Amino acid sequence: MYDQPHPDAVLRSTRHYPFEIELLLADRGFYNERILRRSREIAATVVPVQKKGKRMRKKLDTHCSYMTTYRMYKGRERELEFPLAVAVSYRAGDRGKSGEVVRGYVACDLADHTPKQVERLYRKRSAIETSYRVFRQARVVTTTQDPIIRFAFVLVGFLLENLWLVLRWAVVARPRRGGRDLPEEFTFKTFSDWIRHALEEELERSWEIEMNGTGVPEAYAPAAG
């Protein structure tokens, strides 16, 4: 990972954005000394640690959440010290699993946050990725280079996704003790297909294709007949 240029290139590109960046959230692929040095210069940074090495495993061997520090490559020229948030949570039958879960996060420039707050910040990354992944199911494919039109199509996609979320929770989900039972059959793809079908009927859409005007060649006529 140390010699791979891709995460490094991503960070370099952020320096040219015409706005300030308050927080960087990245996956374990960015848990790298060189990347962390650069990212913390740009903004507050949260990256889950890789559970390797005796010292890191010892830090994560706990039953209580706490804030500490960790030295990557301790005693070497590349040594890097960073704040480490160790968050302990409990799974009470979540997805058929139970028991303690201990996670560690690089938490640069977040001294006023507790470990659980750091973990909640990182979970926003998963929520954003999930939202974008769902949105892509309804995205419009276009060849136009007009940024206004392209942005409008993106807005339509996210509006449809939010409408689906509201309908799924408020109208379709069945109330139950402790919350609502979200229906698995009412997927965003199903909702999008309904919208697409309604639009095709309303717009009386028809499909056409230009014929070649030749038909089956004479040499193939006996086989075709």
Tens digit of pLDDT for each residue in 89-130? 987 655 556 688 999 999 999 999 999 999 999 988 766 666
Q: What is the average pLDDT across 201-223?
A: 79
Are 76 and 18 part of one and the same domain? yes
- Of the two residues 49 and 136, the one the predictor is more confident about is 49
Are 175 and 82 part of one and the same domain? no
Strands 44-48 and 23-25: parallel
Sign of CA dihedral 11, 12, 13, 14: positive
SS3 118: helix
Q: CA-CA distance, 186 to 182, in Å (whole number)?
A: 9
169 lies in some domain: yes
Are 163 and 70 part of one and the same domain? no
Tell me the residue range of the domain where 22 lies: 6-111
* The total number of structural domains that make up the chain: 2
Are 79 and 143 part of one and the same domain? no
84 lies in some domain: yes
Q: What is the average pLDDT across 56-75?
A: 95
Are 194 and 99 part of one and the same domain? no
12 lies in some domain: yes
Contact assessment for residue 54 and residue 72, using Cβ atoms and an 8 Å cutoff: no
216 lies in some domain: no
Are 20 and 96 part of one and the same domain? yes
218 lies in some domain: no
| pLDDT over 60 at 225, yes or no | no
Q: Give the tens place of pLDDT for each residue, 141-170.
A: 778 888 777 777 777 887 888 888 888 888
Are 104 and 12 part of one and the same domain? yes
The total number of residues written for the chain in this structure: 225
| pLDDT over 50 at 54, yes or no | yes
pTM (two decimals): 0.57
Closest CA to 193 of 164, 156, 162, 153: 164
Are 97 and 149 part of one and the same domain? no
Q: CA-CA distance, 225 to 220, in Å (whole number)?
A: 9
Q: CA-CA distance, 94 to 102, in Å (whole number)?
A: 15
**Highest mean predicted confidence (pLDDT) among 19-33, 69-83, 134-148:** 69-83
